[in-house]
Structure 1
Amino acid sequence: MSPLRVTVWNEGVHESTQDPAGMSEYYPEGIHGAIAEGVREQIPDATVRTALLSDAEHGLPEPVLEDTDVLLWWGHKAHGQVCDEVVDRVQRHVLSGMGLLVLHSGHFSKIFTRLLGTTCSLSWRNAAERELVWTVDPTHPIAEGVPSPLVIPEQETYGEFFDIPAPDELVFISSFSGGEVFRSGVTFRRGKGRLFYFSPGDERYPVYNRPEIRRVLANGIRWAARPGVDRAAPSVSNPPRDWYLGEG
């Protein structure tokens, strides 16, 4: 089997503004750099590239998406700056079989809200509270080798209600020291594509440096990848009658 082809997309706004202060200390190569490093660490034979909002066509022209088995998407401040033409392109590739991992504040990204068809709103606070990520489906491939609970000492708090459709699979639920609970790891299928949303990963905390988090993302990539699938988008067809109708 050919090595998996992974693209890590990040809007790159926090990095360019150094917001918050000190972010460059724990993400010296940006959030995308830390995520890409984790993918290379966990899936050594993967081909990994990164792309940014500021790149031409946001770093996601047709040839890049054609050469991507799984796209990881991190965004926060600049959802509205993502060109609709690029969103159309990403959606087409997801429906054609490209995997998509949407991370943290990417729940408000154009691609995620479009594919899910809801507001994807939630409740939140940011008080550097402890997050416990509980595995609720230990048989799922994304949960393989992940401790339950996965402990994140400091993290932004997300809470219900999370306005998403009923997920195909609920893999992780988080609880926070402030009392909130949140569906933090969920999967969906759209067309031929597989989607995994995973919430831990605020820019204020070095969450993507944690080996347990890197294991979750690597598992998610392996689950979402469909390298052998025919990447033609589902469409209306009018096939000719065949032998099963007793003709010919």
Structure 2
Amino acid sequence: MNDHELAATLAEQAGKLLLAIRAQGGAAGDEQSNRFLLDQLRLVRPNDAILSEESPDDQVRAEHSRVWIIDPLDGTREYGEPPRDDWAVHVALAVDGEAVVGAVALPAAGLVLHTGQPPELAPPAPGPLRVAVSRSRPSREVMQLTAALSAKPVPMGSAGAKAMAVVRGEVDVYAHSGGQYEWDSCAPVAVAAAAGLHVSRLDGTPLRYNRPDPYLPDVLICRPESADLVLNVLHLGVSHAHHRNQSAAGQHRPRSR
């Protein structure tokens, strides 16, 4: 089984496990999913390193070129609110810092999107751009982006669900600035890139993985024909914010004696 097939199979199986736990009203689904994924990866890829949201970070991974980056349950809140389906399982493989293999399972929707069989990108939808936003805590930057684009905000749950909504053609843009970790974006970024979408940091720079600090605060996934427009708006927003901060700092400088 190649890496793409392995990622898809493990994400699907972990998703089925989580569905069974939820159906029984059980708790600690994230822990059981994590244990399953770790056991399977250690069995079939014993020479690879692993970075998981639910396990202590073993910095030995920095010495490996191949690192599996997993989120056993992305969207714990949504998972705990059946029958919501906007939660996911992420299984990815980063090679030399690049997200090259990924699978995102949306178990409650019966879907697994993965790099072994990249989804076909839907044609552009007519009308205003649609932007996936957090249903509970959309960031100021993303809401400013939505307003600047005269876009339609589409609230939904987990990071994986938002990213796959772009892949599936349900929205056009997923931009996040509220703070994330590598396991939040690695699998979605791999799948989105394989499908032909634009993927980057909010400033347009490449996303890199298996860094010493796994904190990766922002991500942009969007349709390729919208990338320049979105990045330009984001750049202007950052420039204006920087100018405001500089002005505020100037107003509060200590007076000369």
The TM-score, its normalising length taken from structure 2, stands at 0.28
Per residue, is there more helix in 1 or in 2?
A: 2
Bigger relative contact order, structure 1 or 2, given CA contacts below 8 A and separation 6+?
A: 1
